Amino acid sequence: MTETPGFDRSQELAKASLAAGSPTDWFEQLYDAAAHGEVEIPWDRGGPHPLLSEWFAQYPEEATGSGRTAVVPGAGPGHDAELLASLGFRTTAFDISHTAIDRITAAHPSSTVDYRVANLFDLPEEWRGAFDLVVEAMTVQSMPRDVRTRATAAVRSLVAPGGVLLVIGGVLPPEPDPDYGPPWRLTRAEIEAFGTDDLALERVVHDTEGIRYRAVFRRRAA
């Protein structure tokens, strides 16, 4: 989330939402305002995340989706999910905002993606360990640090045996303003915390500007 159109409005809504005790109500408010043409979604870059496209370009064996499942927690504008589906992954994508999901399905009426309204903190049991590829792009960092451990565990829970988890986000500045956020960018320790004994961190790479990272985790096969 950089200072793009819609950034100030997202900050105002987030602060009000947090003051009222909810880390997530502001997402629906922001998408609703966008649906009424009042604001732009600050994280909508009009296409898939470059670090996701780059992953598939660099590792073509990872881009074969046929016979594999994928999920995007916090689908947002849906570009990443549409890319996964175009590669043949049987793709699920969910968002806490019903207006976000309505906007995606209106934009992609023939999509093969199974778009759902769902909360990362209350996932359907059948999604546990069900996905060969999990693409977490900026959703955990969009929620405050006091829910980070739960959010991290929920994302991790989606990865199937032998599956891959990509965590994509913005690099935390060396001296972050403690009052700054959203986004609440992850520390290196918070990135590593997605890993467990059977979900190993393989590598963290940065974009050429050094402002975004992609961390790759792989779960041991059953």
Ligand X SMILES: C[S@@+](CC[C@H](N)C(=O)[O-])C[C@H]1O[C@@H](n2cnc3c(N)ncnc32)[C@H](O)[C@@H]1O
Least separation, in Å, of the C-beta of 97 and ligand X?
A: 4
Binding site for ligand X (CB under 6 A): 1, 24, 27, 43, 49, 74, 76-77, 80, 95-97, 100, 119-121, 137-139, 142-143
Comparing CB distances to ligand X, the nearer of 163 and 181 is 181
- Which residues are within 8 A (CB) of 40 and not within 5 positions of it... i.e. 6 or more apart? 4, 5, 6, 34
Least separation, in Å, of the C-beta of 113 and ligand X?
A: 13
Comparing CB distances to ligand X, the nearer of 65 and 77 is 77
Least separation, in Å, of the C-beta of 210 and ligand X?
A: 19
DSSP 87-143: TT-EEEEEES-HHHHHHHHHH-TT--SEEEE--TTS--GGGTT-EEEEEEESSGGGS
Comparing CB distances to ligand X, the nearer of 46 and 60 is 46
Comparing CB distances to ligand X, the nearer of 66 and 106 is 106
Comparing CB distances to ligand X, the nearer of 6 and 162 is 6
List the structure tokens of 219. 């779960």
Least separation, in Å, of the C-beta of 136 and ligand X?
A: 8
DSSP 167-210: EEEEPPPSS--TT--SS-PPPHHHHHTT-BTTEEEEEEEE-TTS
- Find the radius of gyration of the CA atoms of the chain: 16
Least separation, in Å, of the C-beta of 221 and ligand X?
A: 27
CB atoms closer than 10 angstroms to residue 3: 9
